[in-house]
Amino acid sequence: MLKTFVGCAAVNFRLGRPAGFQPEAIVIHIGEGSLRSIDMQFNDPNARVSAHYCVSKSGDIRQYVDEKDTAFHAGTIDQPNWSGLKPGKTPGTFINPNFYTIGIEHEGFADDPWPDAQLATSAALVGEIAQRWKIPLDEVHVIRHHQIRFMKSCPGNVIKIADILGRIPSAAPAVTPAITSVKTINNLRVRAGSPSLGAPVVRTIPAQTMVAVDAVFLGDTVNGNNKWYSDGAGNFFWAGGTNQP
């Protein structure tokens, strides 16, 4: 599945998740804006909000936060109506749902119909995430933001969770990357955090080494090629340095 890694402002997410937490549910949002405005909001250090992904109306996927990190998308709890919400130590309180959820924004507004490309891509992304983290595909584990924060109608008045669940590709190959390993052709730098020449180099893989690939991203263009692979651990390397450019 092709994703464009955009990233977000450092204060708008938390590196990692608190000890003992991993994604257990997926929260569906509507961005109340254009893709560009959502990109800008998540990169505005005053916003203090983020999501892991946004799916555009045309079906493009943009990623802002690694799934292993904590996005700030559903931390405000107000009259919750979600059976998956984890209680806190004090009666009547809850653990911050951001610690154990993945947030997917969608371009558009609450009353917009979702174009087919947006619905199909969102469903495929939900299916892929669910497979990765072994999240059951039901309405307890794929939820509306509204179920955590009653005052927000998010993700709006049109889309139903059943619409998304009903469009998830059933076959495993649909959620498995076509390329699962590549061979390096040069000594290849592995960069942490984003598919970018500005990201820090964490190690160098020698030429002629087989490397497992988790996903394909669009990142910095090098010699006309903007394809990068990720290793599933938050690291990226340029596809042009491999036998699958």
Q: Which residues contact Zn ion by CB under 5 A?
A: 29, 145, 154
CA-closest candidate to residue 232, choices 180, 175, 170 = 180
CA-closest candidate to residue 213, choices 186, 176, 169 = 176
DSSP track, 48-111:
----SEEE-TTS-EEE-S-TTSEE-SS---BS---TTPPB-SSTT-B--GGGGEEEEEESB-TT
Residue 3 or 145 having the CB closest to Zn ion: 145
Q: How far is the C-alpha of 22 from the C-alpha of 40, rounded, in Å?
A: 27
Rg of the chain's alpha carbons, rounded to an integer?
18
Decide: 18 and 99 in contact? Cβ < 8 Å. yes
Find the shortest distance in angstroms from Cβ 93 to Zn ion. 21
Residue 29 or 227 having the CB closest to Zn ion: 29
Find the shortest distance in angstroms from Cβ 54 to Zn ion. 11
Residue 44 or 231 having the CB closest to Zn ion: 44
Find the shortest distance in angstroms from Cβ 145 to Zn ion. 3
Find the shortest distance in angstroms from Cβ 43 to Zn ion. 18
Residue 154 or 159 having the CB closest to Zn ion: 154
Residue 29 or 52 having the CB closest to Zn ion: 29
Find the shortest distance in angstroms from Cβ 169 to Zn ion. 25
